């Protein structure tokens, strides 16, 4: 059984189901209760579960992320909402120095079953401090898991996996994905971490992506196919740490050309890691240099034309595909 619902609804329903399933699961964050969430993911949950399970916090990201980590040390399973990923910067100490370290540093005595949900992404004229994509900071850190679903089905399946995982998980959402719709399996549907998904098969080149850019890449690839121009394979990485290198490498071994499409900044970005992996593991299969399509390296400006010029998107991907495509179709 499948139902077509939005990404937002998939998240909401999964939170609700996990709250019903396990008494140790609780939600906390800014404005998630009375206000029902800045992006309404938690709408109705305070009313249904009460203030013990749906905890409104004051504005103190480091404080409440650390508090959630401490609660996880005693076996609770907190799900934190950080209003947007930009604010997670205030909680870096508790995430990087504590949540990510406690299990290892203390010799495996105390797991941290913690989920931190947070949306990234730009394009809504929110300017420099409200439009960032900082997930790579976390993907860099051993001890964390970082996942970034691009579809409502994966949003459900991966959030469920995150809640049941015994490690700190950064669960990346995206402002522009919340209203997107898709088929979502009913029931106890879970998507394991560390498994990329080939969302469209193709022969001419591979676009590797995650989160919103992955959804965009799929649209572009389908359009090119319909127009009978090119057969593009799309790999949705879905999980940045652990990273499914095998699926990425196998796809490029087949198509021999790779573009990494990412909304974050290009330097030291997710694309840099994937490109490095490809040259290490698929060097002999590459027919052309790997391309990275990413956002321009400026703090995102407010002005609409400037913002448009700074962000990457379908147009930039099309241009890169055009440059990289094989001269003769296969």
Partner 1 sequence: MDTQKKMQPDAESRISVHDQAQASIPRDEDRDTLLHYYYQMVLIRQFEEKAAEMYAKAKIGGYCHLNLGEEATVVGFCAGLEPSDYVYTNYREHGYAIGRGISPNAVMAELFGKETGCSHGRGGSMHLFDIERHFMGGYAIVGGQVPLATGAAFAISYRGSHEVVACQMGEGTTNGGPFYESLNLAKIYQLPIIYFVVNNQYGMGLRVEKGSAVSEIFRKACAFDMRSERVDGNDVLAVRDALRTAARFAREQHEPSLIEAVSYRFRGHSVVDPDRYRDREEVQAGRAGDPISAFSARLMAAGLLDENGVREIDEQVQQDVDAAVQFADESPDPPLEELFDYMYADAVAPGDTSMKGEE
**Stretch binding partner 1 (CB under 8 A), from 60-68, 219-227, 292-300, 318-326:** 60-68
Other beta carbons within 10 angstroms of residue 153's beta carbon come to 19
CA distance 247 to 245: 6
**Stretch binding partner 1 (CB under 8 A), from 10-18, 106-114, 219-227, 322-330:** 106-114
CB of 288 to partner 1, least distance (A): 25
Among positions 264-323, residues that touch partner 1 (CB under 8 A) are none
Query: Applying CB under 8 A, does 88 fall inside the site for partner 1?
Result: no
CA distance 129 to 131: 6
Catalytic residue among 30, 61, 233, 273: 61
CA distance 161 to 154: 10
Respond yes or no: is residue 227 known to be catalytic: no
What are the distances in angstroms from CA 181 to CA 6, 10, 184, 267?
A: 4, 9, 9, 32
- Nearer Cβ to partner 1 (44/75): 75
- Which of 170, 122, 177, 152 lies closest to 307, judged by CA? 122
CB of 110 to partner 1, least distance (A): 6
**Stretch binding partner 1 (CB under 8 A), from 95-103, 116-124, 151-159, 290-298:** 95-103
Find the binder of partner 1 among 68, 175, 205, 213 (CB under 8 A): 68
Find the binder of partner 1 among 4, 48, 183, 246 (CB under 8 A): 246
CB of 220 to partner 1, least distance (A): 27
- Nearer Cβ to partner 1 (139/175): 139
Helices 245-255 & 270-281 angle (0-180, nearest 10): 60
Find the binder of partner 1 among 50, 192, 289, 299 (CB under 8 A): 192
Query: Applying CB under 8 A, does 1 fall inside the site for partner 1?
Result: no
CA distance 261 to 207: 7
Q: What is the largest CA-CA distance in the chain?
A: 62
**Stretch binding partner 1 (CB under 8 A), from 36-44, 173-181, 241-249, 302-310:** 241-249
Find the binder of partner 1 among 7, 39, 49, 103 (CB under 8 A): 103
* Cβ-contact 129, 184 below 8 angstroms: no
**Stretch binding partner 1 (CB under 8 A), from 148-156, 161-169, 177-185, 203-211:** 161-169
CB of 14 to partner 1, least distance (A): 19
Respond yes or no: is residue 130 known to be catalytic: yes
> What is the 8-class DSSP label of residue 144?
B
CA distance 224 to 229: 5
How far is C-alpha 234 from the geometric centre of its chain's CA atoms? 16
CB of 109 to partner 1, least distance (A): 4
- Which of 7, 47, 9, 10 lies closest to 27, judged by CA? 47
What are the distances in angstroms from CA 97 to CA 90, 117, 159?
A: 13, 19, 24
Give the DSSP H/E element, type plus range, for residue 241: strand 239-241
Among positions 38-57, residues that touch partner 1 (CB under 8 A) are 52, 55, 57
Find the binder of partner 1 among 65, 116, 237, 282 (CB under 8 A): 65
Query: Applying CB under 8 A, does 245 fall inside the site for partner 1?
Result: yes
* Cβ-contact 96, 136 below 8 angstroms: no
- Which of 163, 270, 287 lies closest to 214, judged by CA? 270
Positions annotated as catalytic residues are 61, 130
Q: Which residues bind partner 1 (CB under 8 A)?
A: 26, 52, 55, 57-58, 60, 62-76, 93-94, 97-98, 102-113, 142-143, 145, 165-167, 192-195, 241-246
């Amino acid at each position: 059984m499948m139902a077509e619902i939005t990404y937002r609804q998939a998240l909401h329903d999964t939170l609700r189901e996990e709250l019903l399933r396990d008494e140790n699961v609780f939600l906390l964050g800014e404005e998630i209760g009375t206000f029902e969430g800045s992006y309404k993911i938690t709408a109705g949950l305070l009313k249904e579960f009460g203030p013990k399970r749906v905890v409104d916090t004051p504005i103190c990201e480091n404080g409440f992320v650390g508090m959630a980590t401490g609660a996880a040390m005693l076996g609770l399973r907190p799900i934190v909402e950080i209003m947007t990923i930009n604010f997670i910067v205030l909680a870096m100490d508790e995430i990087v120095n504590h949540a990510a370290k406690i299990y290892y540093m203390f010799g495996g005595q105390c797991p941290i079953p913690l989920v931190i949900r947070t949306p990234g992404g730009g394009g809504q004229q929110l300017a420099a401090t409200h439009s960032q994509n900082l997930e790579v900071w976390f993907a860099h850190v051993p001890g964390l898991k970082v996942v970034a679903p691009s579809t409502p089905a994966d949003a459900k399946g991966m959030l469920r996996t995150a809640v049941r995982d015994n490690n700190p998980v950064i669960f990346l959402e995206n402002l522009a994905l919340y209203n997107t719709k898709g088929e979502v399996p009913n029931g106890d549907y879970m998507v394991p971490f560390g498994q990329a998904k080939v969302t469209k098969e193709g022969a001419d080149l591979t676009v590797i992506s995650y989160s919103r850019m992955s959804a965009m890449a799929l649209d572009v690839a389908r359009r090119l196919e319909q127009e009978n121009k090119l057969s593009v394979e799309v790999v949705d990485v879905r999980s940045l740490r652990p990273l499914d290198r095998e699926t990425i490498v196998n796809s490029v071994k087949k198509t021999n050309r790779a573009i990494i499409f990412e909304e974050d900044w290009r330097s030291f970005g997710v694309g840099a890691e994937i490109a490095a992996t490809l040259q290490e593991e698929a060097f002999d299969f590459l027919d052309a240099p790997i391309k990275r399509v990413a956002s321009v390296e400026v703090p995102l400006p407010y002005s609409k034309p400037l913002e448009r010029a700074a962000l990457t998107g379908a147009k930039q991907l099309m241009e890169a595909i055009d440059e990289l495509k094989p001269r003769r179709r296969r």
